[in-house]
Amino acid sequence: MGRLSQLSHPLVAHHLATMRDEKTSPAEFRATVNRLAMLLGVYATADLPTEPITVKTPLADCPSQKLSVRVGLVPILRAGLGLVEPLHQLIPDAEVWHLGMYRNEETAEPVSYYDKLPKRGAVDVGLVLDPMLATGGSIRSAVERLIRWGVPDIRVLSVIAAQPGLDRVQAEFPNVSIFVCAVDPSLNERQFIVPGLGDAGDRIFNTLE
């Protein structure tokens, strides 16, 4: 069973309410995704390995630490783009490898339309970014792709997950850690998370029809 961490923090609860609210504008929605992604990022990287270095302050040598792993941010287009900037703020040297996927509206299965992962060595830690885990199909496809690339440490960062999709991902990938702000109970007949927050991609990019 993959390890699940659900953030318990008053700021997470506060911003989650804003994200869910149908009255929240796209601009505020984007800003809120950014805040929650930052909090998810802090939690999800709490055990990244570091190596000792010495830096010179203006006064003296100071024993310090720096990250000792190559980190890759792997946003699932489109909605995952909303999590890239805050994660990049936290890990400025991270590589960004986009995976383009959309859900077929009839089958709810992910359809891949962009994948330029390189042949060369995989990153040490891959952070899969997508604000929503509904059926789990998109995340499963992204995780499978990172496993094929050879990423040894895969972590999923998602704002809201639906219990059925989460169960599926956890059962299938026992070595993948999942970090979420909320777990919602169900999916509706269109495979949307309920109560959820609607379509994150459309709300981030102001493309609601």
Shortest spacing between CB 67 and ligand PRP, in angstroms:
28
Among 6, 18, 177, 191, binds ligand PRP (CB under 6 A): 191
107 is catalytic: yes
Q: 71 vs 132, which CB is nearer to ligand PRP?
A: 132
List binders of ligand PRP among 141-180 (CB under 6 A).
Answer: 165
15 belongs to the binding site for ligand PRP (CB under 6 A): no
- Given 3, 21, 107, 207, which residue is catalytic? 107
Residue from 34, 122, 130, 166 in contact with ligand PRP (CB under 6 A): 130
Binding flag, residue 182, ligand PRP (CB under 6 A): no
Written as one string, the DSSP assignment of the chain is: ---EEE---HHHHHHHHHHH-TT--HHHHHHHHHHHHHHHHHHHTTT--EEEEEEE-SSSEEEEEEE-S-EEEEEEETGGGGGHHHHHHH-TT-EE--EEEEE-TTT--EEEEEE---SS---SEEEEE-SEESSSHHHHHHHHHHHHHT-SEEEEEEEEEEHHHHHHHHHH-TT-EEEEEEEESEE-TT--EESS-S-HHHHHHT---
The single residue of 103, 140, 155, 203 carrying the catalytic annotation is: 103
The reply on whether position 196 binds ligand PRP by CB under 6 A is no
**86 and 41 Cβ atoms separated by less than 8 Å:** yes
Contact code string over 78-117 relative to ligand PRP, x by CB under 6 A: xx----------------------xx----x-x-------
Binding residue for ligand PRP (CB under 6 A) from 137, 154, 170, 180? 137
Give contact residues for ligand PRP (rule: CB under 6 A). Answer: 76-79, 102-103, 108, 110, 130, 132-139, 165, 191, 199-202
